[in-house]
């Protein structure tokens, strides 16, 4: 899952949310240098990544990108899952994403000085360009895909992967809903003290 998915699965504790947000820059056991609840958020992020990478519903979608985008199926699917999360919200109105995104930005603002340098740099762009709300729109996702392709110097236009999504949108939506129901249940144990 990408940024929005991770934040949605972070629960209500600001420190857990912050830990989940910075987790990609915290390597190995260095997470132990952070306060306990931030550690919990980092471990939650790792759990989400591991669960996602082996989930049957996620893998079905990921495999659709292998022919056109070898070795990039996971990157593409992670980003598209934030778009599918918005579609889920617009269909079910369960997550209150409009308000929750404001809360995420507010929490992350309060921790900005504690962010690892590379995350702080990226967060500046995330907030300025309002990535989390822009994932709602095809153009926002295409921009994210294009930006990643450019950063990693990937020659194929990653934003063209959206055509593969649209060609099987009903399958992707069903797979996402099944995946999301499972991951919500699995991550709920992180919020029991």
Q: What is the pLDDT along the chain (193 residues), one digit of tens a residue?
A: 899 999 999 999 999 999 999 999 999 999 999 999 999 999 999 999 999 999 999 999 999 999 999 889 999 999 999 999 999 999 998 899 999 999 999 999 999 999 999 999 999 999 999 999 999 999 999 999 988 888 887 766 888 899 999 999 999 999 999 999 999 999 998 887 6
**Contact of 87 with 173, CB cutoff 8 Å:** yes
- At residue 160, what are phi and psi to the nearest 5 degrees? -70, -15
Q: List the structure tokens of 8.
A: 């949605």
Asked, for residue 21, whether it belongs to a domain, the answer is no
- For the chain, strand residue ranges (E) read none
Asked, for residue 86, whether it belongs to a domain, the answer is yes
Asked, for residue 40, whether it belongs to a domain, the answer is no
Per the structure, the count of domains in the chain is: 1
Q: 10 Å Cβ neighbour count for 190? A: 18
Asked, for residue 174, whether it belongs to a domain, the answer is yes
Asked, for residue 89, whether it belongs to a domain, the answer is yes
Asked, for residue 51, whether it belongs to a domain, the answer is no
Asked, for residue 4, whether it belongs to a domain, the answer is no
Asked, for residue 157, whether it belongs to a domain, the answer is yes
Q: Which domain holds residue 139?
A: 56-191
């Amino acid at each position: 899952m990408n940024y929005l998915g991770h934040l949605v699965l972070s629960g209500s504790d600001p420190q857990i949310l912050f830990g989940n947000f910075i987790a990609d820059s915290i390597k190995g056991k260095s997470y132990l240098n952070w306060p306990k609840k931030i550690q919990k958020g980092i471990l939650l992020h790792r759990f989400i990544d591991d669960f996602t990478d082996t989930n049957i519903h996620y893998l079905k979608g990921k495999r659709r990108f292998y022919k056109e985008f070898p070795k990039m199926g996971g990157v593409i699917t992670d980003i598209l899952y934030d778009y599918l999360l918005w579609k889920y919200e617009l269909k079910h109105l369960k997550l209150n994403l409009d308000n929750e995104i404001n809360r995420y930005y507010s929490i992350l603002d309060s921790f900005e000085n504690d962010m690892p340098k590379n995350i702080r740099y990226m967060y500046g762009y995330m907030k300025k360009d309002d990535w989390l709300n822009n994932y709602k729109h095809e153009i926002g996702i295409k921009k994210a895909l294009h930006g990643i392709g450019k950063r990693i110097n990937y020659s194929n236009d990653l934003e063209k992967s959206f055509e593969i999504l649209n060609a099987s949108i009903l399958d992707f939506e069903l797979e996402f809903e099944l995946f999301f129901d499972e991951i919500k249940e699995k991550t709920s144990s992180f919020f029991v003290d």
